[in-house]
Amino acid sequence: MGWLNHLERRFGRYAIPELTWKLIGLQFAVYLFGILFPDFYGALFLDPDRVLKGEVWRLITYIVMPPVFGITDVIWFFFYAYFFLLIGSSLEREWGYFRYNMFWLIGMLGTTFFAFFVARGSIANIYLMMSLFLAFATLFPDYMIYIFFFLPVRVKYLAYLDAAGFLVLFMTGDLSMKVGIAVAFSNYLLFFAPRFWQIAKVQVGTEGRRKKFQEARRERSSGSAFHECIVCKRTDLTHSDLEFRVGDDGHEYCAEHLKR
């Protein structure tokens, strides 16, 4: 990703290190503060109407919203924190601080667009957290998660279920919903679409070469030569000891004439 390399060279020194740890700490602080003052949570959601009225902090504070709120949910918070730390730290090690920061920043911009132009209501950080999970599952598809502490499941299968749910929303929603979902996951798409495109190109090329090889084998089994020098017309049937190569012009030559 050349654009990321360029940005990292110019702005890499501004990256926030150990961002996952910092976010978990802030979320825990918000969780504790929210137990003491329950109305506090409402001031943090990304609410477009409130932002337009001057509460601009909501453009950032929604990312430190914890997934649970009540005092009885403290155990679930620590389970969430452990899983978030696992995912976030793994991505930080894989990408480095700057790219991990950029993944968050692009995701925040996409979520803001979704909130203002699609949802038109207050939202939390579900799309950001889901994009992180999908990124982790893409990079570490065989990582094993134990559901209920005893049921082992590879993380890629959980990602398939989540992706299927959003795909259904994408397929059944109107145009604004389609655009909104695509933009909300713009960080994931920008980071991984080139990777998927390259994989698809390799697979198409491999399949094409496989078909050509199978066709050549069928021709050879029917008595046709597999290789033929364009200069001397010798083939692998008449001269089995010869080596054949494709030249720069795309024609096939025996080793003797290829050197010339």
pLDDT above 90 for 103: yes
pLDDT above 70 for 217: no
pLDDT above 60 for 174: yes
Q: What is the pLDDT of residue 216?
A: 63
Q: Domain boundary at 191, 206, 234, which? A: 191
Q: What is the pLDDT of residue 54?
A: 92
Over residues 171-195, mean pLDDT:
82
- Nearest alpha-carbon partner for 100 in 115, 110, 90, 109: 90
pLDDT above 60 for 220: no
Domain that holds residue 248: 225-260
**Residues 151 and 33 reside in one and the same domain:** yes
**Residue 42 CB neighbours (<10 A):** 11
Q: What is the pLDDT of residue 134?
A: 92
**Residues 124 and 234 reside in one and the same domain:** no
Task: Give the rounded percent of residues in the chain with a pLDDT score beyond 90.
Answer: 28
Residue 211 lies in a domain: no
**Residues 180 and 231 reside in one and the same domain:** no
Please report which confidence band the pLDDT of residue 99 belongs to, taking 50, 70 and 90 as the band edges: very high
**Residues 63 and 176 reside in one and the same domain:** yes
**Residues 51 and 152 reside in one and the same domain:** yes
pLDDT above 90 for 245: no
Over residues 223-228, mean pLDDT:
73
**Residues 139 and 230 reside in one and the same domain:** no
Asked whether the beta carbons of 30 and 44 are under 8 A apart, the reply is: yes
Residue 206 lies in a domain: no
Residue 205 lies in a domain: no
Asked whether the beta carbons of 25 and 16 are under 8 A apart, the reply is: no
Residue 181 lies in a domain: yes
Domain of 157, CATH number, reads: 1.20.1540.10
Over residues 137-160, mean pLDDT:
88
Question: Model pTM?
Answer: 0.74
**Residues 30 and 94 reside in one and the same domain:** yes
Please report which confidence band the pLDDT of residue 193 belongs to, taking 50, 70 and 90 as the band edges: confident
- Token readout for 177 is 């919903």
φ and ψ at residue 154, rounded to 5 degrees: -70, 140
The CA–CA distances, whole Å, from 106 to 78, 97, 138 equal 27, 14, 18
Domains: count for the chain? 2
The CA–CA distances, whole Å, from 132 to 89, 103, 126, 139 equal 11, 8, 10, 11
Residue 246 lies in a domain: yes
Residue-by-residue DSSP string for 105-151: HHHHHHHHHHIIIII-S-B-SHHHHHHHHHHHHHHSTT-EEEETTTE
Q: What is the pLDDT of residue 247?
A: 79
**Residues 186 and 244 reside in one and the same domain:** no
Residue-by-residue DSSP string for 225-253: -S-B-TTT--BTTT-TT--EEE-TTS-EE
Over residues 62-84, mean pLDDT:
86
Q: What is the DSSP letter of 160?
A: H
- Token readout for 158 is 């959980």
The C-alpha atoms of residue 99 and residue 30 are separated, in whole angstroms, by: 26
Round the average pLDDT of the chain to a whole number and report it: 84
The C-alpha atoms of residue 67 and residue 87 are separated, in whole angstroms, by: 16
Residue 69 lies in a domain: yes
The C-alpha atoms of residue 181 and residue 173 are separated, in whole angstroms, by: 10
pLDDT above 60 for 260: no
Q: What is the pLDDT of residue 175?
A: 76
**Residues 31 and 141 reside in one and the same domain:** yes
pLDDT above 80 for 148: no
Residue 210 lies in a domain: no
Q: What is the pLDDT of residue 218?
A: 64
**Residues 130 and 237 reside in one and the same domain:** no
